[in-house]
Amino acid sequence: MSDAMNGHLAAMLAQGLAEMDLPLDAAQQSKLLAYVALLQKWNKTYSLTAIREPKRMVTHHLLDSLAPLKHLPATPLRMVDVGSGFGTPGIPFAIARPDWKLTLLDSNHKKTTFLRQAVLELALPNVQIVTGRVEAVQADTPFDVITSRAFADLSDFIRWTEHLLADGGKWAALKGVYPQEEAAGLSANVYVDHIDALHVPGLDAERHLVHIRKRT
């Protein structure tokens, strides 16, 4: 990419973060843009995402992934990103919250190969990559938060991942439009704690973060 394009992307990202009141330092912002550059490079061969324009990657992948952060605990935690694909929201989360320990899980070997390279090139020691179907994966230590972005409907998401949740933990599912029918169809042993409407600068679409907990 040209210097002018890099400057434009940096300005877009900085403005979006300011609109979301999400302060990230220059090194973190640089690393987020390096992730976009890496994704664009790999996408030419591996078709990881249908979005190919770097400007749209900033809005649709970076800012869209970072929008939920204000609604998640700021304290260190263990999180798994299920069906992480090319790393959203897991990699932006890992860059923005270096004190979190993140596991990025996907069954697609092509995508986890990219994720391993991204973790290496972006120097993200707080990230672990796991290749496998989520229902078959076991965790030595359960997770405080289980998240996903456009992975499955809420009932399947809960059923497939329940064995990975720590006591007192929660699910935080990233959804588009308000998932009223999905929320109403959850099993009796879980409940929707609350749903946050998210604002994503530059994205003219609904986004919601659904917080789900086990009944005690």
pLDDT tens, residue by residue, 116-167: 999 999 999 999 999 999 999 999 999 999 999 978 899 999 999 999 999 9
Structure-token pair, residue 45: 């061969």
Is pLDDT of 1 > 70?
no
In the CATH hierarchy, which fold is given to the domain comprising 65-214?
Rossmann fold (3.40.50)
pTM beyond 0.75: the answer is yes
Mean of the per-residue pLDDT values for the chain? 95
Q: How far is CA 211 from CA 58, 85, 91, in A?
A: 25, 21, 20
Q: Residue 195: helix, strand or coil by DSSP?
A: strand
What's the mean pLDDT in 69-92? 96
Sheet of 208-214: strands edge to edge? Answer: 127-131, 101-106, 78-82, 143-149, 165-175, 208-214, 190-197
pLDDT of 29 reads 98
Least confident of 51-60, 80-89, 159-168: 51-60
pLDDT of 138 reads 93
Domain ranges in the chain?
65-214
Within 10 Å of residue 115's Cβ, how many Cβ atoms?
28
